[in-house]
Amino acid sequence: MRMVDLIEKKKLAGVHDAAELRFIIEGYTAGAIPDYQMAAWLMAVRFRSLNRQETVELTLAMAESGRQLDLSQIAGTKVDKHSTGGVADTTTLIVTPLVAAAGVKVAKMSGRGLGFTGGTIDKLESIPGFRSALTTDEFICQVQRIGLAITSQTPDIAPADGKIYALRDVTATVDSLPLIAASVMSKKIAAGADKILLDVKYGSGAFMKTLPEAEALARVMVDIGNGAGRETLAMLSSMEEPLGTGIGNSLEIAEAIEILSGSGDPRLCEFCIEMAAQMLRMAQPDLSQPAATETIRQLLTSGAALAKFREFIEAQGGDGSVVTDPGLLGTAANCLEILSNQAGFVCSMQSAELGRGSILLGAGREKKGDPIDLHAGIKLHVRCGDAVASGQRLATLYYGKGVDPRQAKTLVLDSIQLSEQPQPCPALIAGIIAKEQSGAT
């Protein structure tokens, strides 16, 4: 088997079998296939695409390119969730303790933030003492003991993905649905969970800008997951405005605690209840949707989910007192309130620009390895549809010493658009993609 022949085959719209795709992935991961040949094949895939079976086989080969977690010693169904990324997306911090409090095992590997998309691991590390890197034995034992563990992704999980993504990034082949889907799902499959709930976002603050694009990606990923023997479901959700009101690491932890304490932003709360109910139903298929939703609401109002969050924090070395005293998270050295210069109704909030504003304040990183300020970020005080008076507070910026907030302030003011009359707000959840709805890629 020669790589040049496989490039030629895909260039002419041929279909690869499993052995050919494994040859490509194993050869490239081992360094036997050079970058220039892999780049040529990726471009051929970008133009000719991959069919459903090719995409499944590619994903499995990538998942098997490194270490795979075996969670079979953990009793019961293990569930995982994944978001395609957005602004103020605090769902993992809220949903996972809710689901674990319902008795479902949640075993999750998470990453760090890049660009305006926040990373769960960065957020958790804003909790004093929290340890994000668990050994495999620690990870499995914690899931067995308390039902929830979140650990940082390691380079030996789906290493082919990291190597291929770096090449895609510099060869204009990022925007290929099969390659995007294989990248996401190879890591999820290698992480070992039985069932996976995907949150595929669209809009100004998401990678997929339109609902049809998000739906197409969701269908591919649902096909891959189910084709690999993992029940997979996808929610389609809007990122036209930030999901929560806190943009930044410790700000999002504080907001998660607020929601788990029974208060907080209603929009974020209802979204998390819906997602948690879906995960509960995946683990317990006999439950009806109303029954699952009611169970989740009771766990929220009773304080059981907050108690589970504290137990989780303490299990990973963090100071669990933050759940009753969020002030222990600390705060930025400086803050600046942004006031509206006119009256009206909030009709638009550009999520991506608000996310970029948080980066300028130090809350995010432009490239891997950049340092971040865990206390920096933006707290929003208005939502789409809200009436605003002239001089009313729109947002508060948090930043450290030596940071000039003026450019971030401009971005925030430009991002929050007002109209004279109230405008309809887009629905947050646009639909759910299940196995029987997904088709060939």
35-90: pLDDT as tens digits: 999 999 999 999 999 999 999 999 999 999 999 999 999 999 999 999 988 899 99
Q: Which residue has 């395609």 as its token pair?
A: 84
Q: Report percent pLDDT > 90 for the chain.
A: 86
Torsion angle, alpha carbons of 322, 327, 331, 337, to 10: 130
Q: Which residue blocks in 110-158 are alpha helix, DSSP H?
A: 120-124, 136-146
Nearest-angstrom CA–CA distance, 354 and 255 = 17
Q: Let me know: does 378 contact 358? Beta carbons within 8 Å.
A: yes
Nearest-angstrom CA–CA distance, 93 and 97 = 7
In terms of Cα–Cα distance, which of 174, 134, 121, 133 is closest to 368?
A: 121
Q: Which residue has 């990291």 as its token pair?
A: 162
Q: Which residues have C-beta within 8 Å of that of residue 352, sequence separation ≥ 6?
A: 87, 116, 204, 205
Residue 43 has a pLDDT of: 97
> Does 81 participate in catalysis according to the annotation?
no
Burial of 389 (0-12, 13-18, 19+ CB in 10 A): exposed
Selecting among 16, 46, 112, 168, the annotated active-site residue is 168
* E-only strand ranges, 193-230: 195-202
> Does 183 participate in catalysis according to the annotation?
yes
Q: Write the DSSP symbol of residue 254.
A: H
> Does 265 participate in catalysis according to the annotation?
no
Residue 155 has a pLDDT of: 84
Selecting among 80, 89, 122, 161, the annotated active-site residue is 161
> Does 340 participate in catalysis according to the annotation?
no
Which domains can be identified in the chain, with CATH numbers? Answer: 3-63 (1.20.970.10), 78-324+430-437 (3.40.1030.10), 331-419 (3.90.1170.30)
- Residue 424 phi, psi (nearest 5): -65, 140
Selecting among 82, 123, 310, 409, the annotated active-site residue is 82
Query: Can you list the residues of the chain whose pLDDT is less than 70?
Result: 113-118, 366-369, 436-441
Nearest-angstrom CA–CA distance, 34 and 217 = 29
Residue 405 has a pLDDT of: 97
Element counts in the chain: helices (H) and strands (E)? 16, 13
Residue 440 has a pLDDT of: 38
Residue 436 has a pLDDT of: 63
Q: Which residues have C-beta within 8 Å of that of residue 5, sequence separation ≥ 6?
A: none
**Could you count the other beta carbons within 10 Å of the beta carbon of residue 17?**
11
Q: Write the DSSP symbol of residue 117.
A: B
**Could you count the other beta carbons within 10 Å of the beta carbon of residue 440?**
10
Selecting among 105, 112, 163, 187, the annotated active-site residue is 187
What region does 186 belong to: left with phi over 0, alpha with psi -120 to 50, or beta?
alpha
Residue 169 has a pLDDT of: 81
Question: Quick one: angle between helices 211-227 and 52-63, nearest 10?
Answer: 70
Give, in degrees to the nearest 5, the angle at Cα 124 between 122 and 130.
115
Chain mean position to CA 200? 9
Q: Which residues have C-beta within 8 Å of that of residue 423, sequence separation ≥ 6?
A: 345, 347, 384, 385
Nearest-angstrom CA–CA distance, 340 and 44 = 50
Q: What type of residue sits at position 23? A: F
This prediction has a pTM of: 0.90
Q: Which residue has 């220039």 as its token pair?
A: 36
> Does 2 participate in catalysis according to the annotation?
no
Nearest-angstrom CA–CA distance, 128 and 319 = 6
